[in-house]
Chain A
Amino acid sequence: MYILILFLPLLSAIVSGLFGRKIGTKGAGIFTSNCIIISFLLSCYMYYEIILNFSPAYIRLWRWFDSELFTTYFGLQFDNLTATMLIIITSISALVHIYSIGYMAGDPHIPRFMAYLSLFTFLMIVLVTSDNYLQLFIGWEGVGLCSYLLINFWLTRIKANKAAIKAMLINRVGDLGLVIALIMIFKEFGTLDFSIISSSLITFEINNNSLTIICLLLFIGAIGKSAQLGLHTWLPDAMEGPTPVSALIHAATMVTAGVFLIIRSSSLFECSSIALVVVTIIGALTAFFAATVGVVQNDLKKVIAYSTCSQLGYMVMVCGISGYSVGLFHLFNHAFFKALLFLSAGSIIHAVSDEQDMRKMGALIKTIPFTYIMILIGSLSLMGFPYLTGFYSKDLILELSFEKYYIILAFWLASSAAFLTAFYSIRLIYFTFIINSNAPKEVFLKIHESSKIILFPLALLAFGGIFLGYLGKEYFLSNIITPIMPNSIKLVPLFFSLSGAGLAYFLLCYQINTLDNKVFKKTYHVIYTFLNSAWQFNYVINHLIIKQIWKMGHVITYKLIDRGILEVIGPKGLSVVFVKLTQIISKLQSGLLFNYVLVIIIFTTFFISGFNIFKVM
């Protein structure tokens, strides 16, 4: 039954991908959705067995690599972490599958789309159920590949192609770190199994420096996959794919893989304090950075993309201060309200004739109230509004980070991020729903609520967005000791969120009046441009790294080495030299009789006098 959880998404991918022509667009949608739903139900049952009945399961399928000291099985490990991740992945994926039937209706390539979605789910399940790093790497690369295929789904658009290539390549940078980490782990531990590694950490003395290096390399992998600061630029561009894809990538699967890796390797990370500090700081910086950028984005989906980036920063930060279960809890909650936000955004985009720019929306509260309620629930949950899902994990993350006095910076960065999160959430709602409409008349007249098949997953996710935090907190946080701190500090995140929301509402209502001062206007413009272009990360990376590498590739490897040194030493140079040499030699035969005679006489003289010319040479 446990293998069936893996097998069903694979089956649905194969059937939909290879036989999509046979089963048709409708059949593909229904078949894949049902497969994933069954997979979800099975993982619910598995959750009951593993977590509620305390019976983790290990399944060894077959021997995979077997050479001397290195033996790796293709094995499945179903423990608490895996069960939780499976619930997230299968539930969100099932809802996204159902949603896609409605959202992608009319697209001629639905079987392909469904096949990719199912393959994505399958590889993500492979990632979370593996019992060793090598098998995890299959899933790790696989979700990268599927993200490429999905972002690139509308492959006639050049922008989608570029974004997909970018996502793939930036992920590769992180994957390289992971590969090196795997090699280092094998060198130090002689195995790649999670269980053996964590047990050998207790019994054997492992060199502390190499542990730090392993952790940092693993973290580089997580940076790439989870879009932390530095390798985050692929995430906003990944918005080129269809909206359900964004929901899947950003809520449940792809980006959570990095956090999952950190949580899975928690025993390693606990042995290296340096790595933990790095993880915390990078996470906090990401949370802050992405929140500031999210404030000024005008693309509906990009706002949510940056908020994903920011929330991932929270998760990574709390993993850095050893609150792995809180990180997992936030991952769990975030999956639901982020999927809700993305799918609602898809519903809005669907309603306004595929317009993604927030500035061309407005007044949708009258026309699509259901979606408004959904996105409001999602946003409030994201802001950590008390008693909604986001509150339980986000507040705790902030409190835990306050406890670590040596990196109190993280607390303040994350709190400011909470402030900004509230700001951009309210801004998004204000621009799309409340402000007077800016849409063209022909678009405005056609605005309508989406079909039931789109709204149904939203309703379920809204349920998750409201209640799951409350329901899950007993399970997730049972081993967390809530830090003791003054009440004033405890209220800081809430205060920040509320003031951010209030400020956003206030500023947006009175925007015109405050922008009179010229100096203020100019600084505002500079800051706005800086933030709107995401701190110029793309510019800096393109100019300082990518262009240099391209130039190096052209000038050094292509011009100098390939077409230069290798050709001169190699075929072309040799042929030129030989042709010239033979030409010189054949010119000796001039056709003139007296020259021949001279040559004959010279060599005869040599011969008679016993002078061997070849011996001299």
Chain B
Amino acid sequence: MYLEYLIIAIVLFILGVLGIVLNRSNLIIMLMSIELMLLAISLLFVINSILIDNLVGQIFTLMILTVAAAESAIGLAILVAYYRIRGTISIKSLNLLRG
């Protein structure tokens, strides 16, 4: 039973990764994908904490949720600032720093 939860969490994580890698247009989708990845990891922590009967996982989950909230707040703030300057939130136009 726990195995299914684990698989779900991993699949969610992979979906989040693919959302970042394959997404070429929208910065908001990217932020959402990051949120998704963080959620998937939180889920993994929770499942594992139950699995090994240890509270540290749930404490970490809480920490991650806080960090995720702060991160998304800052991310959105950056996004808004970026939009003000460039007038677009497309990722493709985010390539000024080439090698």
Which A positions have Cβ atoms within 8 angstroms of B?
Answer: 586-594, 597-598, 601
Interface of B is mostly: loop
Which of chain A's residues have a CB closer than 8 A to the CB of B99?
Answer: 586-591
The reply to whether B98 and A593 form a contact with Cβ atoms under 8 Å apart is no
Which of chain A's residues have a CB closer than 8 A to the CB of B97?
Answer: 591
User: In the complex where A586-B99, A587-B99, A588-B99 touch, is A593 in contact with B17 (Cβ < 8 A)?
Assistant: no
Distance in Å: Cβ of B30 to nearest Cβ of chain A: 7
A589 to B95: give the CA distance in the assembly, Å.
10
The reply to whether B20 and A592 form a contact with Cβ atoms under 8 Å apart is no
Which of chain B's residues have a CB closer than 8 A to the CB of A592?
Answer: 91-92, 94-95
The segment from B21-29, B53-61, B68-76, B79-87 that touches chain A is B21-29
Which B positions have Cβ atoms within 8 angstroms of A?
Answer: 17, 20-24, 30, 91-92, 94-99
30 contacts between A and B (CB under 8 A): A586-B99, A587-B99, A588-B99, A589-B98, A589-B99, A590-B95, A590-B98, A591-B94, A591-B95, A591-B96, A591-B97, A591-B98, A591-B99, A592-B91, A592-B92, A592-B94, A593-B30, A593-B91, A593-B94, A594-B20, A594-B21, A594-B22, A594-B23, A594-B24, A597-B17, A597-B20, A597-B21, A598-B21, A601-B17, A601-B21
Distance in Å: Cβ of B88 to nearest Cβ of chain A: 14
A597 to B94: give the CA distance in the assembly, Å.
14
A208 to B7: give the CA distance in the assembly, Å.
97
> Would you list the 10 A-B pairs with minimal beta carbon distance, nearest first?
A589-B99, A591-B95, A591-B98, A586-B99, A597-B20, A598-B21, A592-B95, A591-B97, A594-B21, A593-B91
A592 to B23: give the CA distance in the assembly, Å.
11
Specify the chain B residue showing the minimal Cβ separation from A605. B17
Specify the chain B residue showing the minimal Cβ separation from A585. B99
Which of chain B's residues have a CB closer than 8 A to the CB of A590?
Answer: 95, 98-99
Which of chain B's residues have a CB closer than 8 A to the CB of A597?
Answer: 17, 20-21
Q: Number of contacts between A and B (CB, 8 Å)? A: 33
Which of chain B's residues have a CB closer than 8 A to the CB of A601?
Answer: 17, 21
Interface of A is mostly: helix
Which of chain B's residues have a CB closer than 8 A to the CB of A587?
Answer: 99
Specify the chain B residue showing the minimal Cβ separation from A594. B21
Specify the chain A residue showing the minimal Cβ separation from B91. A593
A66 to B94: give the CA distance in the assembly, Å.
80
Which of chain A's residues have a CB closer than 8 A to the CB of B30?
Answer: 593
Which of chain A's residues have a CB closer than 8 A to the CB of B94?
Answer: 591-593
Which of chain B's residues have a CB closer than 8 A to the CB of A591?
Answer: 94-99
Distance in Å: Cβ of A597 to nearest Cβ of chain B: 5
A590 to B91: give the CA distance in the assembly, Å.
13
Which of chain B's residues have a CB closer than 8 A to the CB of A588?
Answer: 99
Which of chain A's residues have a CB closer than 8 A to the CB of B95?
Answer: 590-592
Distance in Å: Cβ of A594 to nearest Cβ of chain B: 5
A601 to B14: give the CA distance in the assembly, Å.
11
Which of chain A's residues have a CB closer than 8 A to the CB of B22?
Answer: 594
A588 to B98: give the CA distance in the assembly, Å.
9
A593 to B99: give the CA distance in the assembly, Å.
13
A587 to B91: give the CA distance in the assembly, Å.
18
Distance in Å: Cβ of B26 to nearest Cβ of chain A: 12
A589 to B97: give the CA distance in the assembly, Å.
9
Which of chain A's residues have a CB closer than 8 A to the CB of B92?
Answer: 592
Report which residue of B24, B97, B99 has the largest number of chain A beta carbons within 10 angstroms of its beta carbon. Answer: B99
A617 to B96: give the CA distance in the assembly, Å.
33
Which of chain A's residues have a CB closer than 8 A to the CB of B96?
Answer: 591
Specify the chain B residue showing the minimal Cβ separation from A587. B99
Specify the chain A residue showing the minimal Cβ separation from B22. A594
A589 to B23: give the CA distance in the assembly, Å.
18
Which of chain A's residues have a CB closer than 8 A to the CB of B91?
Answer: 592-594
A594 to B24: give the CA distance in the assembly, Å.
7
A591-B95, A591-B99, A601-B17 are known contacts; what are 15 more A-B pairs with Cβ within 8 Å? A586-B99, A590-B95, A590-B98, A591-B96, A592-B91, A592-B92, A592-B95, A593-B91, A593-B94, A594-B22, A594-B91, A597-B20, A597-B21, A598-B21, A601-B21
Specify the chain A residue showing the minimal Cβ separation from B30. A593
A588 to B30: give the CA distance in the assembly, Å.
21
Specify the chain A residue showing the minimal Cβ separation from B99. A589
Distance in Å: Cβ of A568 to nearest Cβ of chain B: 28
Specify the chain B residue showing the minimal Cβ separation from A588. B99
A585 to B22: give the CA distance in the assembly, Å.
22
Distance in Å: Cβ of A581 to nearest Cβ of chain B: 14
A592 to B92: give the CA distance in the assembly, Å.
7
A594 to B95: give the CA distance in the assembly, Å.
10
Distance in Å: Cβ of A120 to nearest Cβ of chain B: 72
Which of chain A's residues have a CB closer than 8 A to the CB of B23?
Answer: 594
A590 to B92: give the CA distance in the assembly, Å.
11
A591 to B92: give the CA distance in the assembly, Å.
9
Distance in Å: Cβ of A273 to nearest Cβ of chain B: 82
Distance in Å: Cβ of A537 to nearest Cβ of chain B: 68
Distance in Å: Cβ of B94 to nearest Cβ of chain A: 6
Distance in Å: Cβ of B75 to nearest Cβ of chain A: 13
Distance in Å: Cβ of B18 to nearest Cβ of chain A: 10
A601 to B91: give the CA distance in the assembly, Å.
18
Which of chain B's residues have a CB closer than 8 A to the CB of A598?
Answer: 21
Specify the chain A residue showing the minimal Cβ separation from B94. A593
Specify the chain A residue showing the minimal Cβ separation from B98. A591
Distance in Å: Cβ of B20 to nearest Cβ of chain A: 5
A592 to B95: give the CA distance in the assembly, Å.
5
Distance in Å: Cβ of A592 to nearest Cβ of chain B: 5
Specify the chain A residue showing the minimal Cβ separation from B96. A591
A594 to B20: give the CA distance in the assembly, Å.
6
